Amino acid sequence: MFRAIELYRDSQTVGEVVEIEPTPSAELLRTKELLAGKEVVLIGGQRRPHHVAALRQTLGLSDVRWLTAPEHTSITFFEPDIARPDVAVVLLAIRWSNHDYAEVQRYCEKYGKPLVRLQAGYNPNQVAHQVLSQAGERLSALATANASEGFSAGL
């Protein structure tokens, strides 16, 4: 086996970088299936364009609405984005958000959006894990209901 690796390495031109795409986890694939084409609202921390791009691409999202509010801003600041019909889930980065933001739960309940508390960062694998563990059943039920409505409407 090591000989095959050495032969492959030797066949590469000097300076060429070979990127190997990691195999997506089952959790990541399932989350992508549930969220494809949807938006998420992410609250907490500072918007990082490379993290937004990674989440959009990896999870098949149409948008990541990363909201950062100035200190002492009322939580009403978040309501219009949470209310958007294309928003499938609200992500609350608890390590990087004001404790008052926990009240966002009220808006999530009001507009029927699952609230997922991110405990360890924005990595797509971590986000996928948290989404499935905290809201997977609810998102699956919504996807099934929407598929049934689409099927019924086509009859």
41-71 pLDDT per residue, tens? 999 888 889 999 999 999 999 999 999 877 7
pLDDT, tens digit, for every residue of 99-142?
Answer: 667 788 999 999 999 999 998 888 999 999 999 999 999 999 98
As to burial, measured by CB atoms within 10 angstroms (0-12 exposed, 13-18 middle, 19+ buried), residue 55 is: buried
Q: What is the pLDDT of residue 96?
A: 67
CATH number of 24-153: 3.40.50.10700
Rounded to whole angstroms, the Cα distance separating 59 from 48 reads: 16
Confidence band for 144, pLDDT divided at 50, 70 and 90: confident
* Short-list 40, 51, 137, CA closest to 89: 40
**Is residue 64 within 8 Å of 55, Cβ to Cβ?**
yes
Q: What is the pLDDT of residue 73?
A: 78
